[in-house]
């Protein structure tokens, strides 16, 4: 194997190890030594590829954010009605008890207090709200969703509700030690969103 391939492999291992450690331990609990051990890489390799822990963490967070977007888009950009795509997003397979690898970072003061680390988190959550709002608007325009109990529904507000339900569901599930709390929140939201003809 060439030196370039070995270097690329070390860089990938460092990013993946950092992603896992950030997800499990948060930024403070993710030490350079722990990263190196998990990646099977030495200190020299780490500092050859990255300027330091912050630089490596930023690369790891960007990777997690990109994967979350790709996973969401696979279902949101699929076939079917607006409701069907939102339902597919809400019911897609998740490791509920581990929480969202991006959403959990919003509770990490070291990440939120650092503009470089916070940026991909903010951008991803903003992208998700925007993407969901587009689909909800499709459903509103097509008459799938209706505001029978009040005034007109707002796509942005409904999108924010979907994101809040998912992220809040993760928190409730972790607090109770059971994915049932997440599942209950999702079922409740789907019942509220169900097209008028399905009620």
| Tokens, residue 150 | 């009040």
73-104 per-position pLDDT tens digit: 999 999 999 999 999 999 999 999 999 999 98
Which of residues 144 and 163 earns the better pLDDT score? 163
Q: In sequence order, which residues have a C-beta less than 8 Å from that of residue 87 and are 6 or more positions away? A: 190
pLDDT score for 6: 44
Report the predicted TM-score, pTM, of the whole model to 2 decimal places.
0.86
pLDDT of residue 147: 56
Residues 54-80: what's their mean pLDDT? 95
CATH T-level assignment (fold) for domain 3-198:
Tetracycline Repressor; domain 2 (1.10.357)
Question: What band does 45 get if pLDDT is binned at 50, 70 and 90?
Answer: confident
Q: How confident is the model at residue 49 (pLDDT cuts 50, 70, 90)?
A: confident
Q: What span, in angstroms and rounded, lies between the C-alpha atoms of 168 and 143?
A: 28
Q: Tell me the average pLDDT across 172-192.
A: 95
150: left (phi over 0), alpha (psi -120 to 50) or beta: beta
Distance (Å, rounded) from C-alpha 121 to C-alpha 127? 10
Spatial distance between the Cα atoms of 43 and 25, rounded to a whole number of angstroms: 20
Per-residue model confidence (pLDDT) at position 1: 42
Confidence category of residue 195, pLDDT binned at 50, 70, 90 = confident
pLDDT in tens, 1-26: 444 444 558 889 999 999 999 988 99
- CB contact at 8 A, 167 and 189: no
| Mean pLDDT value across the chain | 89
Compute the distance between CA of residue 102 and CA of residue 47 in angstroms, rounded to an integer: 25
Tokens 């020299």 belong to which residue?
Answer: 44
Q: Domain locations in the chain?
A: 3-198
Q: How would you class 79 by CB atoms within 10 Å of its CB: exposed for 0-12, middle for 13-18, buried for 19 or more?
A: exposed
Return the higher-pLDDT residue of 60 and 51: 60
Tokens of 39: 């990646």
In angstroms, the Cα distances linking 128 to 28, 111, 121, 168, 194 are 27, 19, 11, 15, 20
pLDDT at 153: 84
Contact 54, 117 (CB under 8 A): yes
């Amino acid at each position: 194997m060439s030196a370039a391939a070995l270097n690329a492999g070390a860089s990938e291992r460092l990013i993946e190890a950092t992603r896992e450690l950030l997800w499990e331990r948060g930024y403070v609990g993710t030490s350079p030594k722990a990263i190196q051990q998990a990646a099977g890489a030495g200190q020299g390799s780490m500092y050859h590829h990255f300027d330091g822990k912050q630089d490596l963490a930023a690369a790891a967070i960007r990777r997690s954010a990109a994967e979350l977007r790709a996973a969401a888009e696979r279902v949101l950009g699929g076939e079917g009605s607006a409701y069907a795509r939102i339902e597919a997003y809400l019911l897609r397979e998740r490791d509920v008890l581990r929480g969202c690898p991006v959403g959990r970072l919003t509770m990490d003061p070291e990440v939120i207090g650092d503009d470089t680390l916070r940026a991909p988190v903010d951008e991803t959550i903003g992208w998700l709200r925007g993407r969901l709002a587009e689909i909800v608007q499709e459903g509103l325009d097509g008459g799938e969703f209706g505001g029978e109990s009040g005034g007109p529904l707002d796509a942005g507000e409904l999108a924010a509700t979907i994101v809040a339900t998912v992220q809040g569901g993760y928190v409730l599930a972790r607090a109770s030690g059971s994915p049932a709390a997440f599942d209950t929140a999702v079922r409740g939201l789907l019942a509220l969103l169900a097209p008028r003809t399905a009620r």
